[in-house]
Amino acid sequence: MVDFSEILKKAQSYRAEMSQFLRDMIRIPSESCQEREVVLRIKEEMEKVGFDKVVIDPMGNIEGYIGHGPHVIAMDAHIDTVGVGDRRLWTECDPYEGKEDENTIWGRGGSDQEGGMAAMVYAGKVIKDLGLEGEYTLIVTGTVQEEDCDGLCWQYIVNELKLRPEFVVSTEPTSLRIYRGHRGRMEIRVETRGVSCHGSAPERGSNAIHKMADIIQDIRSLNENDAADGTEIKGLVKMLDAKYNPLWKDAQFLGRGTITTSEIFYTSPSRCAVADSCAISLDRRMTAGETWESCLQEIRDLPAVKKWGNDVTVTMYKYERPSYTNLVYPTECYFPTWVLPEDHVVCKSLVEAYKGLFDKDPVVDKWTFSTNGVSIMGRYGIPCIGFGPGAEEQAHFPNEKTWKDHLVTCCAMYAAIPLTYCKNVDKK
């Protein structure tokens, strides 16, 4: 029997300690591939509160262990952040010093997503204090490079460390809702080739920028068009229709895919010459039923791409940036869609824990953005679910903040989930 009231009471008693720990992490700049110092600070806190084992792996991720039972459960927070951007927009606080009042903590990483780490570490303390260890081993992971390449850390954890938990709780911000999926994404590069000539007689050459302009218009059509029978370039909305997608119900839950032209590059001998190459980057968000193959082919099938034939190439980017430990773990920039069924034992267990702690029904929804779940469940089929402090709209935003009550709520949830899950899964 899980004593939810005692768990909540104990989590509330660590409100100040969690707040201080989060402030400490915020003070340490930890952009992707520069996480070493914040990892060491997390190790210090895990050891202080009594984790059974703490390991920093060769990629630089940190794994803290509690318990020795047969059911292996993981909870994950990425502990890298994006940069601060234009500091003039940080009008309420210094991004690294931040500030706090009775209810709120400001600073880069507050919501995205070092607040999740603070709550997880103190959930470990609650488990130890109340003797909640049972038929499970809990692994609390602080993962690196997520902002650069979401899920790469978990590719390493699964493939190299051979850790394959029964499920993973992502502590990305959810506004205290339970999130059971999100759209996937991929990074696509489109290149056009031309022939340079003098700008005074452009007809003598072949302008790569003009070719790309045609293609960009077709790409816009994918976002804007409907999927009617007479529409030549059918919009991405088609994947919400059973006619085009057997997974249309999941697609309707997650939302339609999108495509964004995010960067443009060119080469030319001079400003008075015709461009001989042009390239664009595309951010492609994928709903259920879409794959990297289907998304690449969708671009290759555009009328403008076919028009320019061999002068166009469509490829997927690769990621090969070294971690702070100098480990390079190459991967393609493909981050699969995932969705956990609402009737899955993991989802039911989180709903039960939430009701037991707070005496009300939770909101069950999904993220707009992408998380490490793209590898955990998207690549490897390990059930993944989200519950985290902070708000999605605070991510990457100037004057980023989170709320102290969120830390307490999440700490209680993380402490209650393992035993609740074990009770439910052992019934099956």
* Domain limits, the chain: 4-183+337-427, 186-319
- The CA distance from 301 to 320, in Å, is 29
Q: For residue 96, give every residue at least 6 positions away whose Cβ sits within 8 Å of its Cβ, in sequence order, or none.
A: 26, 27, 28, 29, 84, 107, 108
**Widest pairwise Cα distance in the chain:** 82
Class of domain 4-183+337-427: alpha beta
Q: pTM of the full predicted structure?
A: 0.94
Q: Which of 17, 57, 76, 80 is catalytic?
A: 80
Is residue 293 annotated as part of the catalytic site, yes or no? Answer: no
CATH fit for domain 186-319, picks 3.30.70.360, 3.40.50.300, 3.80.30.20, 1.10.1490.10: 3.30.70.360
User: Judging by beta carbons within 10 Å of its beta carbon (0-12, 13-18, 19+), is residue 128 exposed, middle or buried?
Assistant: middle
- Taking only the tens of pLDDT, the chain with its 428 residues reads 789 999 999 999 999 999 999 999 999 999 999 999 999 999 999 999 999 999 999 999 999 999 999 999 999 999 999 999 999 999 999 999 989 999 999 999 999 999 999 999 999 999 999 999 999 999 999 999 999 999 999 999 999 999 999 999 999 999 999 999 999 999 999 999 999 999 999 999 999 999 999 999 999 999 999 999 999 999 999 999 999 999 999 999 999 999 999 999 999 999 999 999 999 999 999 999 999 999 999 999 999 999 999 999 999 999 999 999 999 999 999 999 999 999 999 999 999 999 999 999 999 999 999 999 999 999 999 999 999 999 999 999 999 999 999 999 999 999 999 999 999 997 76
Tokens linked to 265: 């590059």
Q: Is 320 a catalytic residue?
A: no
Q: Which of 57, 63, 100, 146 is catalytic?
A: 146
